[in-house]
Structure 1
Amino acid sequence: MSTVNVRPMTDDEYPQWLRALSERFAREQVEAGTWAPEGALEAALAKNQNFLPQGLATPGMLILVATDQTGSPVGRAWVGLDHPAGKADCAFLYDIEIEPAQRGRGFGRALLEAVEQATREAGAPALELNVFAPNRTAVALYGSAGYTVTTQQMRKDLAS
């Protein structure tokens, strides 16, 4: 299995990560039918700004970079130690990603384990996340790592 080291994200890395994160979030919301394409990026940027008003210095947030054995970044993760829905004793994994060129090499599982350890060390006894159903790779990863479905939203397009 691959291993990763995690470290806090730097101020130099933050703006590019936030932009890419917001672009991906907007795209996922549009694909899920939650948001219209028009204004989706602006909505994603605003939502992320609300969660990270002080950027990397926002209290209760872990924003981590995963590096391989050579020290090269292979992925990133964002955890809120306070659950956005106010659930007691439960952190929330807002985002986890592996660089596209590094996928399929075990880094995702290694990063998830490192995130769980960092979350435990920060005092949170549980970690929750959201995953969109079409992301079958992520669904399989989380299931094999012991995550269980706690809620499920379903949708049917009625236009046709």
Structure 2
Amino acid sequence: MIELVLMNQEQYEAFRDQSAADYAAEKVLAGTWDATDAQRLAQESFAKYLPQGKDTPGAYIYHIVEVASEQIIGYIWLHISDAPAGKQAFLYDILIYEAHQGKGYGQATMQALDQVAKQEGAVKIGLHVFGHNLKALHVYEKAGYQITDYQMSKTLTP
């Protein structure tokens, strides 16, 4: 069983650094950003979406904690905001640390995420998944998420 525990400032700073680095790497892998600019662009994204850090209104940044061992096994970043069709949640980031993957923690975390979103009044949760991340796509589909859009690109050779 897992529990979502809000991060303190020191934990948030470590999360921000790791999440930004991972995001930059994913954008490079997806061919969206050049490696030389990726870290700067990722930091700019964090400044835009978390202008007040962990205290940004609507931001919920948690450690994922395995209850029995009290061990941190990952993190999750959710944002909830008002929308015309009711409060909407958006999953910006989730990571189950590699040593804990394949043990059902992803599904348990997605269920805990549903509960947090419902408690905050959200009627829907959205997310983005990179096309090359088939493992994450499987977790999301298994948790009941459906594809709502496709964004595609083609690299042109000279």
The residue that corresponds to 1:124 in the other structure is 122
Q: Does 1:76 align with 2:75?
A: yes
Structure 2: how far apart are the matches of 1:34 and 1:106? 31
Between the aligned partners of 2:97 and 2:129, the Cα distance in structure 1 is: 18
Normalised by the size of structure 1, how large is the TM-score?
0.92
Instruction: From the two aligned structures, give the one with the greater strand fraction.
Output: 2
SS in structure 1 of the partner of residue 35 of structure 2: coil
Partner residue of 1:66?
64
> How far is 1:156 from its partner?
2.0
1:87/1:9 CA distance change after superposition, 3 Å: farther
User: What is the one-letter code of the residue matched to 2:134?
Assistant: R
Q: Which of 29, 32, 35 is 2:30 aligned to?
A: 32
CA RMSD of aligned residues (A): 1.4
Q: Give the Cα separation in 2 of the matches to 1:18 and 1:60.
A: 16
CA gap of 1:101–1:24, structure 2 versus 1, over 3 A, is same
- 2:112 pairs with 1:111: no
Q: Which structure 1 residue ranges, 4+ long, deviate > 6 Å from structure 2? A: none
Structure whose residues are more often helix by fraction? 2
Report the number of matched residues: 156
Please say if 1:18 is aligned against 2:32. no
Q: Deviations over 1:18-42 (max 9, x none)?
A: 0000001011111111111112101
Give SS of 1:64's match.
Answer: strand
Unaligned runs of 5+ in 1: none
Unaligned runs of 5+ in 2: none
- Name the SS for the 1:78 alignment partner: strand
User: Which of these residues, 74, 88, 91, is aligned with residue 89 of structure 2?
Assistant: 91
1:87-122 deviation per Cα after TM superposition (whole angstroms, max 9, x unaligned): 643211000110111111111111111111101101
Residues 106 and 155 (structure 1 numbering): CA distance in 2 closer, same or farther, change over 3 Å? Answer: same
Q: Separation in 2 of the partners of 1:108 and 1:129?
A: 15
- Name 2:50's counterpart in structure 1: 52
Structure 2: distance between partners of 1:62 and 1:130: 17
Q: How far apart, in 1, do the equivalents of 2:15 and 2:84 lie? A: 27
TM-score (norm 2): 0.93
Find the aligned partners of 2:91 and 2:155 in 1 and give their Cα distance.
29
Alpha-carbon deviation of 1:53?
1.2
